[in-house]
Amino acid sequence: MPQAILSLKNINKSFGPIDVLHDINLEVRAGEVLCLLGDNGAGKSTVIRLLSGVHKPTSGVMAMDGKPVSFANPREAADHGIATVHQFGGTFPLMSVGRSFFVGREPTKWVGPFKVYDRKLANDTAVKAVQSFGITRIDDGDRLVGGLSGGERQALAIARAVHFGARVLILDEPTAALGVKQASHVLRIVNEAKRRGLAVIFITHQVMHAMAVGDHFAVLIRGAIAADFRKGEKSREEITDLMAGGEQMAELEAEIESYMAAGEGHPEPAKHVH
Ligand SMILES: Nc1ncnc2c1ncn2[C@@H]1O[C@H](COP(=O)(O)OP(=O)(O)OP(=O)(O)O)[C@@H](O)[C@H]1O
Ligand SMILES: [Mg+2]
């Protein structure tokens, strides 16, 4: 197996007296999707905040390409090629597609003695990058980000990270607010990022989304890794139970599904009697 791009060794994180993460060991490799699973409050976002330079570990070692690293701030993590995309894409609703793609790195051109923002180059580059991920509906770089759908915003943020050389792409619940069709677009983009050789860390509460893209799975329960397995090693039911903190959720889910199928989940609306 190739060397991990990013690894966590015996990582602990406390906030004052509160111990949030306990002895976390994880590895992510190029061309692989690691799904980080776990119930609310399990510690997933805290792991991501360590990797993206928001917090520092209390103890333990983070390494890139086998060499220990420490990030003083998110900028340093980004400089190491770690890109984090949050639920709503983290882009700017009042900016154009082209502007938001280049924010902080705007291309310029000379007009006589003046250096100005090269709108055409920015727009063309952004549209091309997004379209290369299969989102062909974005064909005008002047469109405002606020007018894009949730899935399109995710696509824009991911295309941007890849364009600027990210090696590790972290997605914290990218499909949580999306409908079925848009979520499947985002999952396709995750697969494309993986095909291009990025290491992807994907956080989700939806077991089907995890199973659709994951090569490797780690389940956090109360801040510790409770299970660590590869694609095909566990069933959907087992993963569902682990994600709920080890409770028997799969059974309950199947029960609810069968009620719904039998029509018992939808009681007749009460009739008004006049
Ligand atoms: N800055 C902080 N100070 C104190 N406690 C914190 C801090 N950040 C997170 N925690 C605690 O750490 C635990 C894990 O939180 P975290 O946000 O990592 O969970 P999560 O797995 O991302 O949950 P969710 O699925 O709801 O997003 C929670 O109990 C939370 O209250
Ligand atoms: Mg979270």
Q: Which of 57, 52, 54, 11 is nearest to 171 (CA)?
A: 52
Q: What's the confidence (pLDDT) of residue 271?
A: 54
For residue 261, the model assigns a pLDDT of 81
CATH classification of 6-88+167-261 is 3.40.50.300, yes or no?
yes
The confidence score (pLDDT) of residue 8 equals 97
Q: Please report, for the chain, the start and end positions of each structural domain, with discontinuous segments joined by +.
A: 6-88+167-261
Q: For residue 246, how far is its CA from the centre of ligand 1 (angstroms)?
A: 19
| Amino acid of residue 221 | I
Q: What is the pTM of this model?
A: 0.87
Q: Which ligand is nearest to the CA of 16?
A: 1
Name the residues around ion ligand 2, CB cutoff 5 A.
44-45
- 27 pairs with which residues across the strands? 7
Q: What is the pLDDT along the chain (274 residues), one digit of tens a residue?
A: 778 999 999 999 999 999 999 999 999 999 999 999 998 899 999 999 999 999 999 999 999 999 999 999 999 999 999 999 877 666 688 899 999 999 888 899 999 999 999 999 999 999 999 999 888 889 999 999 999 988 888 889 999 999 999 999 999 988 888 888 888 888 999 999 999 999 999 999 888 999 999 999 999 999 999 999 999 999 998 998 888 876 776 677 777 788 778 865 555 555 555 5
Q: What spacing in Å lies between the alpha carbon of 23 and ligand 1's midpoint?
A: 16
pLDDT of residue 268: 53
* Rounded distance between C-alpha atoms, residue 100 and residue 106, angstroms: 9
Buried b (16+ CB within 10 A) or exposed e, 118-144: bbebbbebbbebbeebebeebeebebe
Instruction: Classify residue 24 as exposed, middle or buried by CB count within 10 Å of its CB (0-12, 13-18, 19+).
Output: buried
Radius of gyration for the alpha carbons in the chain, expressed in angstroms and rounded: 21
- Residue 78 Cα to ligand 2 midpoint, Å, equals 20
The closest alpha carbon to 36, from 157, 205, 151, 190, belongs to 205
Rounded CA-CA distance 253/272 in Å is 33
**Distance from residue 46's CA to the centre of ligand 2 (Å):** 7
- Which of 217, 157, 151 lies closest to 188 in space, CA to CA? 151
Residue of minimum CA distance from atom 26 in ligand 1: 40
**pLDDT score at 257:** 80
Is the CB of residue 37 less than 8 Å from the CB of residue 219? yes
Q: What is the pLDDT of residue 264?
A: 57
Strands 6-15 and 59-64, sheet pairing:
antiparallel
pLDDT at residue 136 in the model: 87
Q: If you take atom 9 of ligand 1, which residue's CA is the nearest one?
A: 46
List all residues whose CB is within 6 A of at least one atom of ligand 1. 15, 18, 20, 38, 40-46
